[in-house]
Amino acid sequence: MKCRYACQSAEHLTSRRSFLSGMAAGSAGLAAGLGGMGLGGMLASNPAIASQVQARHKKILNIFLHGGVSQLESWDPKPNTDTGGPFRAIPTSAPGIHISELLPHTAKQMHHLSIVRSLNTKNGDHGRGTVEMMTGHKETPGTEYPHLGAVVAKSLMRPDFALPGHILIRGGGPGASSAAYLGPKYSSVVMNGGQPPAFTERPATLSLESDQRRNAFRARLNDRFAARRRTADTDAYTFSYEQAQSLLAQRQVFEVSRESEADQERYGTSEFGRHCLLARRLLEHDVPFVQINHSNYDTHFENFDFHIEQLGEFDQPFANLVADLADRGLLEETLICVMSEFGRTPRINNRYGRDHWGTAWSVVLGGTGIQPGAVYGKTNENGTAVEDGECDHGHIFHTLLQAVGIDSTAEFDIGGQPFPVADPAKGPLWDVLT
Amino acid sequence: MLQLHWSRPRRLASLLAAILLLTTIGLGGSGSQKPLWADEPAPAAAEKAAPEKAAEEKAAEERAALSQLRHRVDELIEAAAIGPLAPLCSDHDFVRRVSLDLTGVIPTPARVREFLADERVDKRERLIDELVSSPEFARHMAVLLDVALLERRTAKHIPVPSWEQYLFESIAADKPLDQLFRELIVGDRLGAETQPATKFLTSREAEPHAVTRGIGRLAFGMDLQCAQCHDHPLVDDYYQSDYHGLYAFLHRTSLLAAAKGNKLSERADGEANFTSVFTGDGRQWVLPQLPKGKTLLSEPTFAAGEEYTTKPDKTVAGVPKHSRREALAQLLGESRQFQRNVANRIWALVFGRGIVDPLDYHHTDNPPQNPALLNLLADQVRERRFDLRGMIRELVATRTYQRACDAPRPETVNFADIAARAERLAGRLEAALAAVEPLQKSAAAANEAWEQALTHNEAVAVQLPELQKGVTAAKEKHEQAVAAQKTAAETLARVQDQAAALAAAASQTEAAAAKLADDKELAAAAATVRSKSDAVAATVPAAMSAVSGAEAATAAAVKAVAEAEAAVAKAVESRVPAEKLAALEQARLAAVAQWTAAKHEHQAIATQLETCRTAAEYVSANESDPATAEARWQSLVEAWTIAGQIAPLKPLTPEQLAASGMRATGMLAPQIAAVEAKLDKAPPEPLKAAAEEAKPKLKAKLVQQELLNQLRGTVRQFVTHYGGLPGEDFQATVNQALFVGNSTLVAGWLNPAGDNLAQRLAASEDPAAVADELYVSVLSRHPKQDEKQAIAEVLADAGETRQERLGELIWALLSSTEFRFNH
């Protein structure tokens, strides 16, 4: 028999186990204060969770350069060719790897990073490209796939983790991203312009004392109901309010202004700079998936001037972030990815622009699980085709997940039905992984 | 090709050991005097005057006689039950439960009080009748259908209000569900009023794979998506051919781009075929076939150029004379799998979980929890002509639906009885397993015969165009040969004619020359004529042989034509005739159904035994290993819930939560009043035109329709946070708790305004009255004594913060587990 309806996913096992062990702890009397059990109580009664809290966890930082960054002005320069444009290639801290001179600070961190230079996603449409890179699947009418962040949050979020598992720091680009069949728990929590997420502040009319009183009364009601019937669902529901209280207590996690003045100065006043510092803060607080959107790279006109400007904003904060994560030991548990929906044409159009191009472009990876200072794949001399190691969004998606220890070839069990974690027709780029 | 499996006997030895243990322990004798249930006693019928009571009972009996379905459902559930049956739920649980299930919102406080105070014995029946015929029922069902059919896709193409109105009217008018599905599949071709139904396909961009998946799941309860590119990797009996059989009905349909996505176009040609990405095997021509059902064996054919009623064009939607989509719609109602799926989904709608679970996974290895029950319901769905309202009315009238949700107390469970059941079941399990094997063999044989015939015909269908091309080519060659023969004959005649004329002329000229011997000129002329005559005569044999050659070629061409035609005839002849195919198919469907039924029967007994074993394990762990005992106990409660012995806890949908939150806090009534005022101020045409006595009913209907629009903004916020995709696991998220805790929307519900709950509580001085109003409004029940006490203490302590305290209490009840779940 091939049926696997018994819940085999890690999350199911964990939540079910913790539910049952919680029951066991309180088995003397089902109604004994379970509804009111706070995080502390939960941890005390559940050593499995307590030990998880001690351990650091893997996470992903994804930086999405919306509009499509030019690979020729960034990760795969082709100076002195018909397509190369005006900029030089400069050596980097990774021996043998050259990148565009527009990224001098990043160049000093390349020993932490790797470049995949051989993407051929066969697509030049913004919407489709975004869906493909973010879900690892070709866009399929009538089917919605979960966003990378949702897959990561679902796989890596601990049951007791009160902060959101999937945060989008939005500076332009699309809004909230969907968790599709994984459910609302894993949809992105959006920090628009770096502002704290919605509803993370008590209304002015609600005092802390009042909130505590009403929650205490809620807990009493829940205890009474638990004496009638208690299930994994009722426990999860009760616990979500405990977690909300815990999140409100940690609200300063969302406030980048709490970082030191020196750091704020170092990251600069640009929106992207502040977002990078915020991302560092969130990762330090163990948020499993953080995405920064940086917009806009859609340079059909004046490609070169625009890239000086955009990458000028990108370079220093990004390099700071990589260096800081490395210094603090966070790169050992954090995977960094810099992607776009596609690259830009080698051909320079008559307005000094470059157009949409999915045929031969690059993505940068670094940190946990990734070979440092390496290049995967190769484009031809003037960047018009992939010569070696051709891959696409599906392979990148698998690779990102594998790098943080998620089995991308496994399946999620949703309501008894299996859903592949990533496109089963693709697989990871094993050579990129450590 | 069909791989038939059956499950191995489930570790019988360990099972029997467990049963032995149970019987020797003999826990909980049947003579126990302890109360059977923990809380929530069944309501005692109030004392009444005897004649009045007798009349009411008689009326109730008459109603019961009219409909036996509810009793048959209860009998099947109770016959299969292992262990305790929960008592009927309390009246307050019932009024809340049935309101949520039938109208999508908790009852008003007035309705709760009225119902609790009602002393008639048949008041539950009366409430069911009232709710099931209310316009609220149509609204709630329209919402459920919308979510099930569109799965919360982004609204585009057909406008949402007209789609919702279409669903609302369909329910209100008791449109049979098979007809509804026909309209959803065929769309606007059935008439202007079904134009909104097109949304079912257009919301999927009419993309054939998306539509195939949607119809496979929603109409047949089979998610065939994984079988698109290969046989399903996890489900033994979902084949790639099943997917493409359904796809063949649908792949000729597309969205007409010129109509901005509001129109469907269909071609008259195009056949489905597939190759497995795993094995490379495939089929070149797949006939349209219902999943686990009938094949479209013969289709009308039309001469080239005559296939369309309306020929498709860039701007014109194609309408073929024979529409595959319509053919699917026509076959639907008779499909057993469709009936089973509809029955299962109606059950899930009422009980929160399908008899087959997940809803989209009907297959041989996923047995119905209670096979006889699903069969009964599928029969009833057909016999009652797909009457949604009637089916739901019967289901909510069952004892099963009306059981309490409370978990039993372990000490009240008769474990000895469970052990005795286990012994009997173990005996039946063997017999049930033995019954499976022969049926599996005959199913495989019937399937093989059918497959062979079908693939042969498909191969012929693929060959036939080639063979027909051969006939055409042979006929062309024949025509050419006939023409060549004619030309040769003409040439011969001409040459012979010339030769004869020249021979005569030569003889005459020679005779004349002989007479004028000295005339040299004449002699030369005679010689010339003779030589010409000889030359022409010499070509005659060649012309003659050309003629006979041409004759032979024609004869050969005639033969070739005959041979080509014979090949076509032979191929056509070799096809298994339609009647024979139909018979083979029928035999196959019947054999597979029998085998599946036997297999499900066996699996159902195994599941019952599993419950017995869990009970035995609970008993044995109870003394020594409390953690294991607790886990087993939870599994037991879950198993009893799934078996219909205890009522489930059903989380409220986002729509139920939004509407119930508003009703609890008194925010829904002003919305309804606003809609009514709007209708009074500017009555729409139908309301104006209606007869005076029909107006109140029509208005009530229009209010519910308009309420969908009125609540859309609020509902959307709840959907954003609570999800609510069909088939999704229950999720309680921090975001939801933050939304309830800190959003201005919910905070607004807690402020006194108009006649809302906060205002009513503020206006009351008496703490007992405050407690009662609060609990009845939010939790649809009176507070218990200690709860009244607690409220009184909060208020006594409040002083100047009374308003704030009342807000806290309302919020606490709103965010409680008791509110979050339908219990």
Query: Burial, B541: exposed, middle or buried (Cβ in 10 Å; 0-12, 13-18, 19+)?
Result: exposed
Number of H helices, E strands in chain A: 12, 16
Residue with tokens 């015939």: B453
CATH architecture of B438-582: Orthogonal Bundle (1.10)
- For chain B, the maximum distance between any two Cα atoms, rounded to a whole number of angstroms, is 166
pLDDT of the residue at A421: 95
Low-confidence ranges of chain B (pLDDT < 50): 1-47
Task: Report d(CA A19, CA B51) in Å as an integer.
Answer: 54
Cα of B391 to nearest chain A Cα, Å: 25
Amino acid at A54: Q
CB contact under 8 A, B627 and A200: no
Question: What does DSSP say about strands A113-119 and A374-376: parallel, antiparallel, or unpaired?
Answer: parallel
Q: State which amino acid sits at residue B162.
A: S
Residue of chain B whose Cα is closest to the Cα of A423: B226
Q: From residue A142, give the alpha-carbon distance in Å to each of A139, B246, B248.
A: 9, 17, 18
Name the one residue in this structure whose structure tokens are 């005639």. Answer: B558
Alpha-helical (H) ranges within B232-311 are: 240-250
Which residues have C-beta within 8 Å of that of residue B104, sequence separation ≥ 6?
B136, B139, B140, B143, B144, B653, B655, B656, B659
Contacts of A5 in chain B (CB under 8 A): 358, 361, 366
Partner B, chain A 176-215, Cβ-Cβ below 8 Å:
181, 183-185, 189, 198-203, 205-206, 210-211, 213-215
User: Are the beta carbons of A190 and A149 closer than 8 angstroms?
Assistant: no
Query: Where does residue B51 rank: exposed (0-12), middle (13-18), buried (19+ CB within 10 A)?
Result: exposed
Select from B215, B738, B809 the residue whose CB has the most chain A CBs within 10 Å, as the one to mutate to test that interface.
B738
CA separation, residue A413 to residues A154, A182, A417, B729 (Å): 11, 9, 5, 9
CB contacts of B205 in chain A (<8 Å) are 141-142
Instruction: State the pLDDT at residue B298.
Output: 84
Q: Does residue A8 have a pLDDT over 80?
A: no
In this prediction, residue B778 carries a pLDDT of 98
Record the pTM: 0.82
B185-191, long-range: CB within 8 Å, 24+ apart, which pairs? B185/B215, B185/B325, B185/B328, B185/B329, B185/B332, B186/B323, B186/B325, B186/B326, B186/B329, B187/B264, B188/B263, B188/B264, B189/B264, B189/B319, B189/B323, B189/B326
Q: Which of A24, A220, A248 is nearest residue B626 as measured by Cβ atoms? A: A24
Alpha-helical segments (H) within B575-667: 578-624, 626-642, 654-664
Nearest alpha-carbon partner for A245 in A194, A199, A305, A280: A199
Q: How confident is the model at residue A49 (pLDDT cuts 50, 70, 90)?
A: very low
Angstrom distance (rounded) from CA B575 to CA B287: 14
Rounded to the nearest angstrom, the minimum Cα separation between B477 and chain A is 49
Cβ pair B823:A229 closer than 8 A: yes
The residues, any chain, with a CB within 8 Å of residue A101's CB and separated by 6 or more, are: A77, A87, A88, A89, A90
Residue B282 CB-density burial (10 A; 0-12 exposed, 13-18 middle, 19+ buried) = middle
**Range(s) within chain B of domains with CATH label 1.10.287:** 438-582
Name residue, tokens 């499976």: B436
Evaluated on CA atoms A11, A147, A310, A354, the torsion sign reads: positive
Residue A13 has pLDDT above 90, yes or no: no
Q: Could you read off the pLDDT of B243-291 as tens digits, one per residue?
A: 999 999 999 999 987 777 678 999 999 888 887 777 777 777 888 999 9
Residues in chain A: 434
Tell me the pairing of strands A189-192 and A166-171. Answer: parallel
Count of C-beta atoms within a 10 Å radius of residue B187 = 25
Size of interface A-B (CB pairs under 8 A): 201
Q: Which two tokens stand for residue A338?
A: 């810099």
Do B210 and A24 make contact, defined as CB atoms within 8 angstroms?
A: no
What residue in B sits closest to A413 (Cα-Cα)? B729
pLDDT at A274: 97
Measured between alpha carbons, how far is B531 from B537 in angstroms, rounded to an integer?
Answer: 10
Cβ separation A214–B727 shorter than 8 A: no
Residue among B488, B396, B372 at smallest CA distance from B100:
B396
Question: How far apart, in whole angstroms, are the C-alpha atoms of residue B39 and residue A12?
Answer: 31
Question: Rounded to the nearest 5 degrees, what angle is found at the Cα of B490, between the Cα atoms of B489 and B495?
Answer: 100
**Beta-carbon separation of B731 and A236 below 8 A:** yes
**Least Cα separation, residue B93 to chain A (angstroms):** 12
Q: Of A337, A293, A332, whose CA–CA distance to A113 is shortest?
A: A337
Half-sphere exposure of B147 (CA within 13 A, CB side): 19
Nearest residue on chain A to B654, alpha-carbon basis: A184
Mutate to test the interface with B, among A42, A160, A221, A426 (most CBs of B within 10 A): A221
Residue A47 has pLDDT above 70, yes or no: no
Chain B neighbors of A127, CB-CB under 8 A: none
Q: Which two tokens stand for residue B415?
A: 């474990």
Residue B51 pLDDT? 67
CB pair distance less than 8 Å for B732 and A237:
yes
- The pLDDT value recorded for residue A180 is 86
Q: How far is CA A348 from the centre of its chain?
A: 33
Phi, psi angle pair for B118, to nearest 5° = -65, 130
Contact yes or no for B173/B148 (Cβ under 8 A): no
Q: Which of 238-257 (A) contact B at CB < 8 A? A: 238-241, 243-244, 247-248
Could you report how far apart the first and last alpha carbons of chain A are, in Å?
A: 36
- A210 CB neighbours in chain B (<8 A) are 804, 807-808
Percentages helix, strand, coil for chain A (3-state, rounded to 5) are 40, 20, 40
- Is there a contact between B721 and A184 if contact means CB atoms under 8 Å apart? yes
Q: What do you get for the CA distance between the two ends of chain B, in Å?
A: 47
B interface mutation test: which of A177, A241, A251, A287 has the most B CBs within 10 A? A241
Between CA B403 and CA B395 the distance in angstroms is 12
Helices (H), A250-378: 261-267, 271-284, 303-327
DSSP H or E stretch at residue A339? strand A334-339
Contact A251, A162 (CB under 8 A): no
Interface test with B, best of A185, A191, A202, A214 (most B CBs within 10 A): A214
pLDDT for residue B12: 44
Using CA atoms of A159, A162, A165, A166 in order, give the dihedral in degrees to the nearest 10: 150
What pLDDT band is residue A10 in, cutting at 50, 70 and 90? Answer: very low
Measured between beta carbons, which residues in chain A are less than 8 angstroms from residue B626?
Answer: 24, 27
CB contact under 8 A, B207 and A142: yes
Per-residue pLDDT at A417? 76
**Cβ pair B358:A415 closer than 8 A:** yes
How far A35 CA lies from chain B's nearest CA (Å)?
A: 9
**What's the average model confidence in pLDDT over A381-391?**
96
At B677, is the secondary structure helix, strand, or coil? helix
Average pLDDT over residues A378-382: 96
- pLDDT of B10: 38
Instruction: Name the token pair of B718.
Output: 């709840």
User: Does A221 contact B725 at a Cβ distance shorter than 8 Å?
Assistant: no
ipTM: 0.83
Establish if A218 touches chain B: CB-CB under 8 angstroms: yes
Contact criterion met (CB < 8 Å) for A21 and B817: no
* Cβ(B349)–Cβ(B221) below 8 Å: no
Instruction: Tell whether A409 lies on the interface with B, counting CB pairs under 8 A.
Output: no
DSSP B12-58: HHHHHHHHHHHHHH--S-TT--S-SSSS-PPPPPPP--HHHHHHHHH
A54: exposed, middle or buried (Cβ count in 10 Å: 0-12, 13-18, 19+): exposed
- A227 close to B (CB below 8 A): yes
**Rounded to an integer, what distance in angstroms lies between the CA atom of residue B14 and that of residue A265?**
70
- Model confidence pLDDT, tens digit, residues A243-267: 899 999 999 999 999 999 999 999 9
Chain Cα centroid distance, residue B526: 101
Distance of alpha carbon A61 from alpha carbon A330, whole angstroms: 11
Closest among B737, B225, B240, B216 to A181, alpha carbons compared: B225
Smallest CA–CA distance, residue A360 to chain B, in Å, is: 27
CB B689 within 8 A of CB B124: no
Domains along chain A with CATH numbers: 54-156+293-324+331-432 (3.40.720)
Q: How far is it, in rounded angstroms, from Cα B778 to Cα B746? A: 14
Beta-carbon separation of B234 and A206 below 8 A: no
Q: Is B799 exposed, middle or buried (0-12, 13-18, 19+ CB in 10 A)?
A: exposed
pLDDT for residue B65: 52
Q: Which two tokens stand for residue B148?
A: 């099930």
Q: State how far the Cα of B480 lies from the Cα of B487, in Å rounded to an integer.
A: 11
The token pair that represents A137 in the structure block: 């699947």
